[in-house]
Structure 1
């Protein structure tokens, strides 16, 4: 499973919409959607930002377990 897919699953577990995530990150919903689909490269800064918003450790997004 890709990191983008794990981000999507964690977002859904939290009950957050793509609009909410995008708003917290200061980007459009469309731009966030592209991150989640893997169409836009996820920068380290964005990766940490997403983990912080989701309130989860970084390694939970990196690990396939």
Structure 2
């Protein structure tokens, strides 16, 4: 069973690629460095609820989908 951080980071990468966006683009929209966003997306840094909410708004994807809910 995947932990929530692993599941979320995998979903972030999947949705970003589906949108055809770069990590740099999302990081810029969020006001963070590409390196910090990369660490979130690769599961090397825990994501905060505020960051998760902000990413869902930038990607225009429901928070539940990022969390892996159907």
1:8 aligns with 2:13: yes
Unmatched 5+ residue regions in structure 2?
A: none
Among candidates 27, 32, 37, match of residue 37 of structure 2: 32
Instruction: Using structure 2 for the length normalisation, give the TM-score.
Output: 0.86
Aligned length: 65
Instruction: Using structure 1 for the length normalisation, give the TM-score.
Output: 0.92
Unmatched 5+ residue regions in structure 1?
A: none
Secondary structure in structure 2 of the residue aligned to 1:52: helix
4+ runs of 1 displaced by more than 4 Å?
none
